[in-house]
Chain A
Amino acid sequence: MEIKLNGKQENIENNTNVADLLKQKGIQNVEMVTVQLNGTFVNKEDLSNKTITENDEIDFLYFMGGGSKSTVRQKRCYHQ
């Protein structure tokens, strides 16, 4: 079926849910992305309950930092 993913037409298999689609697109860690399905944000816990239907519009929004690193209290990592 045809869907619109990140603004582009894509063909995906029927009965795909949002969690499946993330996996198919190589996104292992769902914590790094926010998903919008037809204009509504999908809660992380609902990703596998939301089945995608024909002509759905889906957007992946990724966390992006950038800019100056000096404004956070840098906690060191002690795990090494």
Chain B
Amino acid sequence: MDFTEEQIERYSRHLILQDVGIEGQQKIMEGKVLIVGAGGLGSPVAMYLAAAGVGTIGLIDGDVVDRTNLQRQIIHFTGDLNRPKVESAKEKIHAVNPEIKVNIYRELFSPDNAFDIMADYDFIVDGTDNFPTKFMVNDACVMAKKPFSHGGILRFEGQTMTYIPGHACYRCLFGSPPPPNAVPSCSQAGVLGSIAGMLGTIQATEVLKFLVDKGDLLTDRMLIFDALKMSFREVRFQPSPGCNICGDHPTIRSLQMEEMPACDLNQK
């Protein structure tokens, strides 16, 4: 791949960066990344991957932009209210970097479409807020042997880990989705807007490290931060032999959504 003058200028800070350089930038530009959810986490991930020059970005989200999103979902602007999130996000990605190929899926990520959509991508970013979908993203990635980044935020805290086939998966840690209402959602308990940016930029960094194949990914460890104290810690773990999807005797053989009612206080 030859770089144009414009590309040399645009990506100059990567090109002079040890461990990225021409070779790394080429890998970034050949990269295909699927972002599940164009919300709080998906916004910063999409913006930084677009700016970095990731060749193909897929966005899946069935929702439209509403006013409560604007406090943290920075890829959507006030003028985008009521627009489909994937269209709003695609426009911003192209405004940042017209070279990016953007595939949009205005639908729910579900057991019916997961494998078909994922097949075209090298890396999946989980930017969803609910546990049935988080577990489904995990299971789909384990089954399809795709790496993915898990991200979670609540109030002033965030957590993220990276799954690479052969290493611990999200289900190794958490087993199965919590019962309804055991864990508050952001719409119940709130979230500081900038936390989404803190966590999302860590996820975007993991994607870029994966694409250029440098450094140590967040495999077999979870990074957890508390922004009120501004303290970060890391919990290390091993793949769980009893894990129902990647353990010694997996019991999950087909992809499904472990449905639970999403009970939000503001839902009627």
Contact = CB atoms under 8 A, between A and B. Distances in A.
B39 A68 contact: yes
A75 B110 CA distance: 14
Contacts of B159: 61-62, 64
A68 B196 CA distance: 11
Contacts of A26: none
Given A36-B237, A73-B259, A65 B182 contact: no
Contacts of B179: 31
B130 A65 contact: yes
A49 interface: no
Interface in B66-106: 73, 85
12 contacts: A31-B179, A34-B173, A64-B154, A64-B183, A65-B128, A65-B129, A66-B191, A68-B127, A69-B185, A70-B37, A71-B128, A72-B257
Interface in B211-268: 222, 224, 233, 235-238, 240, 257, 259-264, 267-268
A62 to B, nearest CB: 8
B237 A39 contact: yes
Given A32-B178, A71-B109, A77-B263, A65 B131 contact: yes
Given A64-B158, A67-B151, A77 B85 contact: no
B237 A41 contact: yes
Chain A interface size range: 20 to 34
Interface stretch (B3-11, B18-26, B56-64): B56-64
Contact of A75 (B63, B187, B238, B262): B262
A67 B42 contact: yes
Contacts, number: 152
Interface residues of B, number: 64
Given A67-B151, A68-B37, A75-B260, 20 more contacts: A7-B233, A31-B179, A39-B236, A41-B172, A61-B235, A62-B159, A63-B178, A63-B183, A64-B157, A65-B128, A65-B134, A66-B153, A66-B158, A67-B42, A68-B127, A68-B128, A69-B130, A72-B133, A75-B259, A77-B261
A73 B154 contact: no
A75 B134 CA distance: 16
A25 interface: no
Nearest to A8: B233
A40 B240 CA distance: 8
A72 B177 CA distance: 13
Contacts of B222: 61
